[in-house]
């Protein structure tokens, strides 16, 4: 059996939505110090709908594939749906990841949540703080990671 599914290989070799959105409405950046993967997600939002999404990922094939798939899963969707995207859904959409690469799908989920939170913060939009992981310096709730 192959280590990676055909979908993982396709999204690694032909990633969707790679790049930067100038003047993005929300940006989320996360990293994993153990493996060195870094993901940055850019969102363009209009009337609560993600109209465009781009990403930059420095990391392994699983990290790139997870970013690509996650971007496809949220593009054109309301923010409320993007916030419900889980690493499990990303992994399932890729037809699985090896157990030692599941952290890549977690990074994709976290980057999206950080980008949505950034959008809310930049626009003074109230939100349920429990929807977001503790941040490094949250001006709204005083949480510390």
Residues with catalytic function = 35, 104
Judge contact between 91 and 97, C-beta under 8 A: yes
Structure tokens at 67: 């970013």
Q: For residue 27, how many C-alpha atoms fall within 13 Å in the half-sphere facing its CB?
A: 9
Residue 145 CA to residue 111 CA, distance in Å, equals 15
| 29 bridge partner residues | 40
Residue 109 CA to residue 125 CA, distance in Å, equals 21
Structure tokens at 65: 């594939």
Residue 145 CA to residue 29 CA, distance in Å, equals 15
Instruction: Give rounded-to-5 percent helix, strand, coil for the chain.
Output: 45, 20, 40
């Amino acid at each position: 059996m192959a280590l990676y599914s055909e979908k993982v290989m396709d999204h690694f070799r032909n990633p969707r939505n790679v790049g930067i959105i100038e003047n993005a409405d929300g940006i989320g950046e996360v990293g994993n110090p153990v493996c060195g993967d870094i993901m940055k997600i850019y969102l363009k939002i209009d009337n609560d709908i993600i109209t465009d999404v781009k990403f930059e990922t420095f990391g392994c094939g699983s990290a790139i594939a997870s970013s690509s798939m996650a971007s496809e899963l949220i593009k054109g969707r309301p923010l409320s749906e993007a916030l419900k995207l889980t690493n499990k859904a990303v992994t399932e959409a890729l037809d699985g990841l090896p157990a030692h690469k599941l952290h890549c799908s977690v990074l994709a989920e976290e980057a999206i949540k950080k980008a949505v939170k950034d959008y809310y913060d930049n626009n003074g939009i109230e939100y349920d703080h429990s929807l977001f992981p503790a941040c490094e310096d949250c001006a709204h709730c005083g949480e510390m990671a």
